[in-house]
Amino acid sequence: MKNHLYPLVIVVLFLGVLLQACKNEKPTPPPAPLTVETLKIERKNGPDCDNPDTLIFNCAEVKFSYPNLKDGPDSLRQAVDDWAKEFMTGWVGMSEEPDNFPPLDEAINNFFNMHQEQVKEMPDAPAYYIAETVDTVLLNDGKYLTLKLDGYSYMGGAHPNASSAVTTFEVATAKKISLDQLVTNLDSLKVIAEKKFRSVRKDIFEPGADGEPGFEFDDVFEFKLADNIGLVKDGIYFIYVPYEVGPWAIGATEFVLPYSEIQQIRK
């Protein structure tokens, strides 16, 4: 009889050990947010740079703020650095094609040289050049990192230039997230996004007080999905920069498509 009890005792002991192990096993904690700091590049050249803005006549100035990861995978840190520097270089390397951008320091020097050449050619004309970027963290939950850079420049002309860049990095792989990874149907997403755009910017679609018709998408400015999107806590962030789907005069348009509004096409 005792021999018959041995298997039962072993099974009971095994289950007891397994149960205790399950009790001792702690749930896997969620990934920790990354440590993101803002670095700055500030350089200026010209006799008027320290004057109040309204008294600046001859000055070239670079004021770049950009994100830098203090931790996380090396591949992600490099990807963020490359993305930020490419954006900044675009504001001081405007005469270059993106594929032929020089290193950032060289592009900044070229920016100052271009300013000096204008001063030599037209010494009596105002020459205030400025290039500026500002960084923002839109999401940092340990799994995804969404960053935004806003850029601004003025080098004379009818109006300044402004634009933005947004991207979401998957922390584990350092890869950028695209819209087709988030939804099953881009055409359906476009319809939802246009509806949201019209709701957020209903002011530009309404007729003017003088009876002038409001803005409308056409063959010149067709509506499309934004080039710059990113994951945020409650949905997908969109920003349409000037000239992307409308003239410079309407400025930028930004909004969040909540997950609740794209549930049927969400992956």
In three-state form (DSSP H/G/I as H, E/B as E, the rest C), the secondary structure along the chain is CHHHHHHHHHHHHHHHHHHHHHHHCCCCCCCCCCCEEEEEEEEEECCCCCCCHHHCCEEEEEEEEEEEECCCCHHHHHHHHHHHHHHHHHHHCCCCCHHHCCCHHHHHHHHHHHHHHHHHHCCCCCEEEEEEEEEEEEEECCCEEEEEEEEEEECCCCCCEEEEEEEEEECCCCCECCHHHCECCHHHHHHHHHHHHHHHCHHHHCCCCCCCCCCCCCCCCCCCCCCEEEEECCEEEEEECCCCCCCHHHCCEEEEEEHHHCHHHEC
The predicted structure's pLDDT at residue 1 = 46
CA distances (Å), origin 258, targets 146, 167, 233, 262: 16, 17, 9, 7
Q: Could you read off the pLDDT of 185-226 as tens digits, one per residue?
A: 999 999 999 999 999 999 999 988 777 889 999 999 999 999
Mean pLDDT of the region 134-150:
98
Q: Could you read off the pLDDT of 234-267 as tens digits, one per residue?
A: 999 999 999 999 999 999 999 999 999 999 999 9
Is residue 11's pLDDT more than 70? no
Which amino acid, one-letter code, is at 84?
A
pLDDT band per the 50, 70, 90 thresholds, residue 4:
low
- pTM for this structure? 0.87
Domains and CATH numbers, the chain: 36-170 (3.30.565.40), 179-265 (3.90.640)
The predicted structure's pLDDT at residue 210 = 79
Dist. CA 174–CA 181, nearest whole Å: 15
- b (16+ CB within 10 A) / e for 241-253: bbebbbeeebeeb
